[in-house]
Amino acid sequence: MYTIGDFSRINRISTKTLRHYDRIGLFKPAKVDEWTGYRYYEQRQQLEIARILELRDLGFTLDEIKRSIRDDSAMAGSLESQIGKLEKERVYLGRRIEKAREYLELLKTQQTGIRVPELKPLPGVIVASMRTRIPCYDTFFDIVPKMGDYMRSVGAVCREPPYCFTIYHDGEYRDSDIDVEICEAVVAHCKESDRVKFKTIDEVSLAACLMHKGPYSTFHRTYNALFGWIPANGYRAVGNPRESYIDGIWNKDDPEDWLTEVQVPIERDV
């Protein structure tokens, strides 16, 4: 048999914790000397204390461990429930990590100075166009492939170099319920459907353009920079913003490598 001190050292658990577990009826010693009150533990009890410590590390409360420690069926149910809780925590922590990265990137931008957009015209083009209202940016990954399938079915030929862009008819950045027109530049008009139309978009004489590196969920950083720079430098926005997709899910596995040019038509504010 082991004294409480030896059992403590072997199993890396304090004697104070062992005494507490005894008091609450979670883990009792094999023997207590009736004269001295010393606690003694047997070799077989090492498996039980190891199980208790593992469950505690998984986030179970002592009451939860006490209720299910000796019932494998109850323990299996408790573990399934705990896995569900931990999965939710992982999602929550992932979002917090992303927010922390966004804030770090914002601090770096502030330290290195204001980003200056490129001023340039946007070409007039014939496009295959699909206008719809989407709940969030991730919906693009469902809509765009279907649009591409239709374009191929009617023989549409994409313009070279490629120019795939989105026009936001809300006129500003939105996180949800977005009025969007997805456009793919093509060489000629083709047969239309109820959802996909072919039309000519006129040239924009001047646009303020900034490159956005990273996932679509962080577009607001680039929009904030653009719409801050425009009035501060004597211009005003005169058309709906566009996003021109250069690299994305179709050729880059990591969203941090996605590259998009945000384009805002402007004119001098006189």
Backbone angles phi, psi at 12, to 5 degrees: 55, 55
Q: And the tokens for 269?
A: 């504010």
Distances (CA, A) of 2 to 12, 17, 36, 42, 78: 14, 16, 15, 6, 31
Residue range 82-109: mean pLDDT, rounded: 77
Do the two domains 2-70 and 118-268 of this chain adopt the same fold? no
The architecture of the domain spanning 118-268 is Alpha-Beta Barrel (3.20)
Q: How far apart are CA 257 and CA 26, in angstroms?
A: 52
Q: How far apart are CA 37 and CA 74, in angstroms?
A: 34
Q: How far apart are CA 240 and CA 118, in angstroms?
A: 17
Q: What are the domain boundaries of the chain?
A: 2-70, 118-268
Per the CB < 8 A criterion, the answer to whether 198 and 192 are in contact is yes
Q: How far apart are CA 221 and CA 241, in angstroms?
A: 14
In this structure, whether the domain defined by 2-70 belongs to CATH 3.40.50.300 is answered with no
pLDDT tens by residue, 178-189 = 898 888 899 998
- Residue 170, pLDDT above cutoff 80: yes
Name the average pLDDT for the chain. 85
- Residue 227, pLDDT above cutoff 60: yes
